[in-house]
Structure 1
Amino acid sequence: MKITITGSLGNIGKSLTAKLIASGHEVTVVSSNTDRVKAIETLGAKAAIGSVNDVAFLKDAFAKADAVFAMTPPNLGGANILENTTNAGKALAEAIKQAGVKRVVMLSSIGADLSGGNGPIAGLHNIEKIYEGVENVSFTFLRAGFFYTNLYNDVPLIKGAGIIGSNYPSTISIPFVHPEDIATAAAEELQKALGVNVRYIVSDVRTPQDVATVLGLAIDKPELPWIEFTDEDALGGMKQAGLPVEIAELYTEMGAGLRSGKIQEDFLSTKTSVDGKTKLEDFAKEFASNF
C-alpha cells in the first residue's frame, strides 16, 4: 500500500512510519520542517515538505495514496487555536476529496463527541464533523486517551514544589494512552480497507491519585501528593509558566471537563476495551529515566 502520514516524525509519526515500512508499505511523511527530510528518508520513507493548510500541496502529497493518517499539528499558534485547528481540518478534507483518497484514519481524542466544554478538543470535534461530510471515503476517528507524555509538563512542579496536580480531583477516572500504542492502533487501521467510524485507543484507566502514587514511587518521592487546584489557580499557574493566555484558558476548560466527567463519559459509558499495552507502571519507568 501507499500511505501518507501527516504530523511529521513526532512521538506517534516516527513509530508509525517505522511500523508501516517494516510491513512493506510505501510511506510518505508530511512535515513543515525541512530539517526533518534526512530523518524521514533514513527511516525509508519519502518526505513531503509543506503546510497542512495548503490544499494544493496536500493534494500532491496524497496523490495515489491508498490511505492517509490525518493528524493536525498540536500547536497551531498562541491565538485562534480552535479556528486554526478547524481550518487545517478543512484543508485536509478538501485535499482528500481532490486526491481521491478512499481510506483515512484521523487522530482524534476522548471528548471529541462534545462540541464544547472540552478545551482544545473542540477543534477535533469540528474536524470529525467536517470529515463526516466527505463522501466515498472510509474514515476512522482514532480517539486517543490523555497522553501519558503530557505528565512531563508536571516535572517543574514536582521538582519545585514537591507536588503534582491540576484542576480536577484525585478520585476521577482518566483514560490514558502512550504514543506507541496510538502508533500501533493507527498502523492496524490504515491497513484495513474499511474501518469502524470510531475507535478508542486507551492504554490504562487510572485516577490522578494513582498517577501521584506510581510516579512518586518511580522517582523516589513516595509521598508525592496530588493537589486539586481551582480553575483560577490552574489558569494563573499556566500563565505564569509562560503559556499564551488562550492556550491556558483552553487547558483550564479541558481540566474542568475532566472534573465534570463529560470528556471521558462516552468512553467509560460504552465500556470500550482498553487496547493499549502500556500501563501506568510501565510509563513510570520511562518517566523516571527522564525525570
Structure 2
Amino acid sequence: MITVMGATGRTGSRICQTLLAAGVLVRALGRNAERLAPLAAAGAQIAVGEPHDGAFLTEAFRGAEAVYTLLVYGPETEDYRNQQAAQGEAIIQAICASTVRRVVFLSSVGAEVPCGTGPIISMHDQEQRLRQLPPEVNVLMLRSGALFENLYGALEIVRAYDCYSDAVAPDMPVPMVATQDVADAASGALLDRDWQGIVTREVLGQRDISYAQATQLLGAAIGRPDLAYVPVSPQELAAALREAGYSASVADCYAELGEAISSGRVRAQETRSPANTTATPFEDFAQTWAAAYRALL
C-alpha cells in the first residue's frame, strides 16, 4: 500500500490514478471527503484530515510501503514559513511513528539554497528535517522545475492588461515542467523504489524557457503573438499581489523568488540528461491555457 498526500491536487490525483491503474492499493489523503470521492470510487482508501495533524498522518502512513509527501499552502497564508514548518514537522513525526521506510518528497529546484529563495525556503527546511531521519528510512527529494500550471495566474492579468507581468528577468532561462511529468516521475519512483538512503533528483521539463518566451507562446496560442511580457520590480509585484488578496507573507515570498530566479540564485544543479528531461512541450500547455483564456471571454 502507498499513501499519497494532497490526493486531490494536481500531482497527487495523477499519482493516485497511476498507482491504482498499476494494481497498487492506495490510501489517498485530503482535507475534503467530497473531492476525494472519485478516488474512493476508483478503489482507493481515503482518509480526511489536516496536513499539519501529526496524529492523523501517523495513522495514514501506518502500514504503507511508501509515502508521497508535500507541503501545501494558500495565497492567504498569514505566516508562510511557520505554517509550512508545522506541516513539515507533522510529516516527520508521522514517518518516525509509523513503519514507513520509503518517502518521496515533492521539493523544488533551488531547495539546496539556505535563504533568499521565497517560498522555496520551506522546501529547504523540510529537506533538512528529512535528512535527520533514521538511516533505515530512504528519502527521495524530487526537485521540480517551475510548473507550467503556475501560469494559470496569468489569465486574468492578460485579460485585464493585455500583457503579462512578473518580477523574473525577461530573458532568464527557467526550467519549466508540466505537472503531469512531475507526477509521473513521482509515480515511477513510488512503484520502482529504486533508491537507497537520501537522494535528490531534479525534474526539469523538456527545455528551459524564459518568461518572455513563455508569454510569446501563450500569446500565439490565443492569436496574439505580440503579447508582451512586462517585468516589474519585486516591490511592485508584492504590492500587486497584496492588492489581489495575497497575504503580505506570501506576496513577499513571491517577490523574493522573482529576484532569486533573475539573479541565478535559484537554478538547476544537474546537467540535463534523459533522466531529468521530461517529454511534455510548453506548446502543449499553451493550448490548454488558451482554452481557459477563451472561457473567460
TM-score band, normalised by shorter chain: over 0.9
Q: What are structure 2's unaligned runs of at least 5 residues?
A: none
The match for 1:202 is: 204
Structure 1: segments with no counterpart, 5+ residues: none
- Could you tell me which residue of structure 1 aligns to residue 191 of structure 2? 191
Aligned residues: 288
Tell me if the contact between 1:200 and 1:272 (Cα under 8 Å) persists in the aligned partners: no
CA distance in 2, matches of 1:39, 1:126: 33
Runs of 4+ in 1 over 6 A off after TM superposition: none
**Aligned with 1:168: secondary structure?**
coil
CA positional deviation for 1:209:
1.7
Instruction: Please state how far the C-alpha of 1:233 moved relative to its aligned partner.
Output: 1.5
Q: Aligned partners of 2:74, 2:46: CA distance in 1, in Å?
A: 21
Amino acid at match of 2:167: N
Q: Deviations over 1:23-58 (max 9, x none)?
A: 110000111112224222022211011122222211
The DSSP-based 3-state class of the residue aligned with 2:10 is: coil
- Picking from 284, 288, 291, the partner of 1:289 is 291
TM-aligned CA deviation for residue 90 of structure 1: 1.1
Partners in 2 of 1:61 and 1:41 — Cα distance?
Answer: 15
Q: For residues 71-121 of structure 1, give each alpha carbon's deviation from its aligned partner in whole angstroms, at most 9, with x where no partner exists.
A: 121338521111111221111111111111111100001111111111011
Tell me the TM-score normalised to structure 2 length.
Answer: 0.93
Question: What is the aligned partner in structure 1 of residue 45 from structure 2?
Answer: 46
Mapped to 1, the partners of 2:84 and 2:99 lie a distance apart of 23
| Structure 1 residue aligned with 2:243 | 240
> Counterparts of 1:50 and 1:91 in 2: how far apart (Å)?
12
1:1-291 aligned at under 5 Å gives the runs: 2-75=1-74, 78-135=77-134, 136-195=136-195, 197-203=199-205, 204-267=207-270, 270-271=271-272, 273=274, 274-291=276-293
Return the alpha-carbon distance in structure 1 between the equivalents of residues 70 and 273 of structure 2. 23
> Aligned residues: percent identity?
27
Taking the aligned partners of 1:209 and 1:21, their CA distance within structure 2 comes to: 39
Structure 2 Cα separation of the partners of residues 222 and 216 of structure 1: 5
For the structure 1 residues 76 and 235, does the alpha-carbon distance in structure 2 shift closer, same or farther, using more than 3 Å as the test?
A: closer
Distance 1:222 1:186 in 2: 35
Q: What secondary structure, in the 3-state scheme, does the structure 1 residue paired with 2:118 have?
A: coil
